Amino acid sequence: FVIDIRLPDINGLELCSWLKSHESSGHIPVIVMSEDSYLKVLAPSSHADDFIDHDKVMTELIEKINDCLADIRADGRAF
């Protein structure tokens, strides 16, 4: 999942925590993003797998998705 921290109806960090706390979705990598790089320090508290700054979205997003997929493959996990 790629989740913006600032969503209209829920905080993206809360959504991330909810996804990570459920057996059916907890194993799926979550990358949270925000234009406020200060929020990067809050991402681990939601169990996000990674954080990306809006300014670097396209380049870093592709790299981080590939990193998450490589970690899953290395662990032998399935989606």
State the Cα–Cα distance between residues 16 and 59, nearest whole angstrom.
22
Spell out the per-residue pLDDT of the chain, length 79, in tens. 989 888 889 999 999 999 999 999 999 999 998 887 777 788 888 999 988 887 766 677 778 888 888 888 787 766 5
Residue 34 contacts residue 15 (beta carbons within 8 Å):
no
Radius of gyration of the chain (CA): 12
E-strand ranges in 1-79 read 2-4, 31-34, 50-53
User: What per-residue confidence (pLDDT) applies to 74?
Assistant: 82
State the Cα–Cα distance between residues 17 and 30, nearest whole angstrom.
10
User: What per-residue confidence (pLDDT) applies to 49?
Assistant: 92
Which tokens sit at 18?
């909810």
User: What per-residue confidence (pLDDT) applies to 27?
Assistant: 92
